[in-house]
Amino acid sequence: MEARAELKFARISARKAKIVLDLIKGKEAKEALAILKYTNKAASPIVSKILKSAMANATNNHSMNENKLVVAEAVANQGPTMKRISPRAQGRAYRIRKRTSHIRIVLKEVE
Q: Name the pTM for this structure.
A: 0.92
Average pLDDT score, the chain: 96
Q: 71: Cβ–Cβ under 8 A, 6 or more apart, which residues?
A: 24, 25, 26, 27, 28, 29, 32, 51, 105, 106, 107
**Per-residue model confidence as pLDDT tens digits over 31-44:** 999 999 999 999 99
> Residue 104 pLDDT more than 90?
yes
User: Cβ distance 66 to 29 under 8 Å?
Assistant: yes
> Residue 111 pLDDT more than 90?
no
Q: Which domains does the chain have, with CATH numbers?
A: 2-109 (3.90.470.10)
The CA-CA-CA angle for residues 12, 30, 34, to 5°, reads 60
